[in-house]
């Protein structure tokens, strides 16, 4: 029987901000319970250090450089197949509640005559998902859709505003009742102006439960994609006050990092968010709210799990919890994301397959190197589809979940980032084509190649917190050479030949003459 999937993503959730991944203070009982019931992949990496590229890798099962939608709002190529395109023909209803950060390639759609309002056009405009509830979660006033469903709902509840997403869900009240915007991090200690049950996280969960009720036995795949704990860092009561500054773990940074920093680091350290997060006051204000938002997500993950049980779907629904990347939060004197420290590229990944085939691994940790692109082929594997290995660059995790380890599993994980749109590029005086970093992370070493600039190298055995960049250090030439060689091999293997399957090739190899092309015959 084909299982259902509930594929839960929390945006900008760091791998180390869960109870089950070792945070000393945070409360995530629901997700911790999932880890006890399933597999906790503790060395999982995204393929891009930013939402857009990373998500397109999740959804397509292909590396960032391969699918080419390397940054937020860079359209995905019209013929890239996503989880929806893979699962729908197998009988699945594949729906989205929340964020994808997908942008359609409107130019190609127009050139190819694809009507965005047609059935095909809707899927092509929604990353292959049925947009049960599409909401990318960031709605600055000047570009907010007046008909955003969440805003309409808030207005119906009496939150009167043109953009209640901002004015209520992501704003707070000051000492004198004045409205203060969540866009300013100084306001993160105060509660949102919505009740908890009217917050984005609660609303999206309600929508997910509605989908589950509607979709019934399935098979279905629901991508429940929370915007939080992503900024604006505003949590509703009581989560805004759940954590105290003393529960903020110390920043992972050293004074030495500021001495002769790597040029890309230096350029990002000069960003406003990095300067802000370098101040303890900012960390102590923001991180408790960030932690509260995570505990709130956890609470709602618990609601989903309870709902599956209530609907009799617990035994047939596979649950995945992950994120699209982390958040520097001041570590390494940085804010936001875009670079390659574990704070960004390492993600939580918990997989619960309730079926008997996975009984051997309940509560197990897997420390093998996992890539986000492994999920799409895993869904396809669970759904009993054709592997499509000529397109999918990830590998199915089903073997791990069922208690074995593929003997030829990867020995390095890859990630590549594009900072063409970031101000750092101007500071570095790099053209849009060259603002690229390529990361390879093997058992001991993490290496990042930047075009036209020195590399970064970290010895994860001696320096697991990545505080000492050996990219320009003498004595590591051989290591750097080995890591570059791995990147070279990886690039040669990118799956750009997408229109012909391996099976088709096997069938046709050496068969031209059978088809009548009698070349070379005397």
Site for its own copies in 41-80 (CB under 8 A): 65-71, 74-79
Query: Within a 10 A sphere around the Cβ of 477, how many other Cβ atoms?
Result: 9
Other C-beta atoms lying within 10 Å of the C-beta of residue 394: 24
Task: Note whether 291 binds its own copies by CB under 8 A.
Answer: no
Tell which phi-psi region holds residue 143, choosing left (phi > 0), alpha (psi between -120 and 50) or beta: alpha
Q: Which residues contact 77 (CB under 8 A, 6 or more apart)?
A: 67, 68, 69, 105, 108
Q: Which two tokens stand for residue 202?
A: 């609660």
Residue from 422, 441, 446, 480 touching its own copies (CB under 8 A): that is 422
* The one among 101, 425, 441, 480 contacting its own copies by CB under 8 A: 425
The answer to whether 14 contacts its own copies (rule: CB under 8 A) is no
Residue 410 region by backbone torsions, left for phi larger than 0, else alpha for psi between -120 and 50, else beta: beta
The residue from 271, 398, 441, 446 that contacts its own copies (CB under 8 A) is: 271
Residue among 31 and 415 whose Cβ is closer to its own copies:
415
Nearer to its own copies, 218 or 335 (CB): 335
Q: In the complex, what is the shortest distance from the CB of residue 496 to its own copies, in angstroms, rounded to a whole number?
A: 4
> For helices 149-156 and 200-215, what crossing angle results, to 10°?
110
- State the nearest-atom distance from the C-beta of 510 to its own copies, in Å: 4
Q: Is 268 in the site for its own copies (CB under 8 A)?
A: no
Place of tokens 């203060």: 180
Cβ–Cβ under 8 Å, residues 387 and 380: yes
- Binders of its own copies among residues 465 to 504 (CB under 8 A) are 484, 487-488, 491-500, 502
Q: Does 122 bind its own copies (CB under 8 A)?
A: no
By CB under 8 A, residue 429 contacts its own copies: no
Q: Which of 48, 276, 313, 345 binds its own copies (CB under 8 A)?
A: 276
User: Does position 120 bind its own copies by CB under 8 A?
Assistant: yes
Q: Is 249 in the site for its own copies (CB under 8 A)?
A: no
User: What is the CB neighbour count within 10 angstroms for residue 522?
Assistant: 2
Binds its own copies (CB under 8 A): choice among 107, 197, 213, 365: 107
Q: Which of 122, 237, 241, 421 binds its own copies (CB under 8 A)?
A: 421
Cross-strand pairs, 300: none
Site for its own copies in 385-404 (CB under 8 A): 389-390
In the range 153-192, which residues lie near its own copies by CB under 8 A? 181, 183-186
Question: Which range of residues in 24-32, 345-353, 375-383, 413-421 is near its own copies by CB under 8 A?
Answer: 413-421
Ramachandran region of residue 139, left (φ > 0), alpha (ψ -120 to 50) or beta?
beta
Give the closest residue to 348 by CA, choosing from 49, 13, 6.
13
Assess contact for 504 and 389: CB atoms under 8 A.
no
């Amino acid at each position: 029987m084909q299982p259902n999937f509930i594929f839960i993503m929390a945006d900008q959730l760091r791998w180390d901000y869960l109870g089950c991944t070792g945070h000393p203070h945070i409360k995530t009982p629901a997700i911790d319970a999932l880890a006890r019931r399933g597999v906790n992949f503790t060395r999982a990496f995204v393929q891009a250090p930013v939402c857009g590229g990373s998500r397109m890798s999740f959804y397509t099962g292909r590396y960032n450089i391969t699918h080419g939608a390397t940054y937020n709002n860079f359209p995905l190529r019209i013929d890239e197949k996503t989880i929806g395109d893979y699962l729908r023909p197998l009988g699945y209803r594949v729906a989205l509640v929340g964020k994808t950060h997908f942008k359609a390639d409107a130019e190609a759609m127009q050139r190819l005559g694809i009507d965005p309002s047609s059935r095909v056009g809707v899927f092509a405009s929604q990353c292959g998902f049925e947009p049960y509830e599409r909401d990318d979660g960031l709605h600055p006033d000047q570009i907010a859709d007046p008909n955003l469903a969440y805003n309409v709902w808030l207005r119906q509840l009496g939150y009167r505003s043109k953009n209640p997403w901002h004015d209520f869900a992501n704003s707070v009240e000051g000492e004198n009742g004045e409205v203060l915007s969540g866009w300013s991090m100084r306001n993160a200690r105060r509660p949102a102006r919505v009740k908890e049950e009217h917050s984005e996280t609660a609303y999206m969960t309600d929508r997910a439960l509605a989908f589950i009720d509607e979709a019934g036995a399935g098979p279905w795949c629901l991508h429940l994609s929370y915007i939080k704990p992503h900024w604006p860092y505003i949590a509703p009561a009581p989560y805004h006050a759940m954590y105290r500054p003393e529960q903020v773990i110390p920043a992972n940074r050293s004074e030495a990092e500021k001495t002769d920093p790597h040029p890309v680091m230096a350029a990002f350290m000069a960003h406003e968010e990095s300067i802000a997060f370098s101040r303890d006051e900012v960390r102590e204000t923001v991180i408790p709210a960030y932690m509260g938002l995570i505990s709130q997500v956890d609470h709602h993950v618990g609601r989903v799990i309870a709902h599956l049980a209530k609907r009799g779907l617990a035994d047939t629904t596979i649950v995945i919890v992950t994120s699209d990347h982390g958040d520097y939060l001041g570590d390494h004197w940085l804010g936001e994301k875009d670079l390659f420290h574990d704070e960004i590229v390492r993600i939580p990944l918990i997989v619960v397959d309730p079926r008997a085939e996975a009984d051997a691994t309940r509560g197990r940790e897997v420390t093998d190197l996992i890539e986000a692109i492994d999920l799409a082929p895993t869904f396809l594997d669970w759904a009993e589809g054709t592997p499509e290995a000529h397109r999918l660059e990830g590998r199915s995790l089903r073997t791990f979940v069922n208690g074995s380890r593929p003997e030829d599993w990867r020995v390095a994980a890859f990630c590549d980032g594009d900072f063409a749109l970031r101000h750092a590029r101007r500071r570095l005086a790099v053209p849009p084509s060259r603002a690229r970093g390529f990361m390879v992370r093997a058992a001991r070493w993490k290496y990042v190649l930047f075009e036209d600039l020195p590399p970064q190298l970290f010895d994860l055995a001696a320096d697991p917190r990545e505080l000492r960049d050996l990219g320009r250090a003498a004595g590591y030439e051989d290591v750097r050479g080995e890591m570059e060689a791995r990147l070279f091999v990886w690039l040669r293997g990118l799956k750009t030949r997408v229109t012909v399957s391996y099976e088709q090739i096997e069938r046709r190899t050496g068969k031209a003459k059978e088809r009548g092309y009698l070349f070379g015959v005397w």
